[in-house]
Amino acid sequence: MVFLLAERRGSGMRGLMTLVATIVVCLTASAAAAQTLSFFGDIGGAPVFVELERTGEKLSGSYIYLRQPQWIALEGRIDAGGVTMDESIVGAKTGSFKGRAGPTGWSGTWRSPNGRTASFSLRPERGTLSDLDGRLQCKTSKAEDDYTFSQSLDLRASRGRLSTFSYATHTGGKYGPEDCAIQLGNLQQLKSELGILLRATEDDPDDTSEDAMHCNMSIDGDSDHLVLRVRGCKGAGGRFFCSGNGSWADLIVSRKTKICRAME
pLDDT tens per residue, range 227-242: 999 999 999 999 999 9
Strand residues in the chain grouped as ranges (E)? 34-43, 46-55, 58-65, 68-79, 82-89, 92-102, 105-111, 117-124, 134-144, 147-158, 161-172, 178-183, 187-190, 196-200, 215-221, 225-232, 235-236, 239-240, 251-254, 260-262
pLDDT tens per residue, range 116-167: 999 999 999 999 999 999 999 999 999 988 899 999 999 999 999 999 999 9
Q: How many other CB atoms sit within 10 Å of the CB of residue 59?
A: 20
Provide the pLDDT for residue 33: 80
Provide the pLDDT for residue 32: 56
Provide the pLDDT for residue 108: 98
Provide the pLDDT for residue 180: 98
pLDDT for 168 beyond 90: yes
Domains and CATH numbers, the chain: 34-124 (2.40.128.120), 134-262 (no CATH)
pLDDT for 224 beyond 50: yes
Q: What is the mean pLDDT of the chain?
A: 89
What is the average per-residue pLDDT within 164-180? 94
pTM for the full predicted model: 0.83
Beta strand pairing status for 235-236 and 239-240? Answer: antiparallel
User: Would you give the end-to-end CA distance of the chain in angstroms?
Assistant: 50
pLDDT tens per residue, range 184-211: 999 999 999 999 999 999 999 999 999 9
pLDDT band at 15 (very low <50, low <70, confident <90, very high): very low
Specify the range with the lowest mean pLDDT, choosing from 32-36, 59-63, 237-241.
32-36
pLDDT band at 59 (very low <50, low <70, confident <90, very high): very high
Q: Which of 96, 160, 97, 165 is nearest to 128 (CA)?
A: 160
Q: Which of 78, 92, 94, 91 is nearest to 43 (CA)?
A: 94
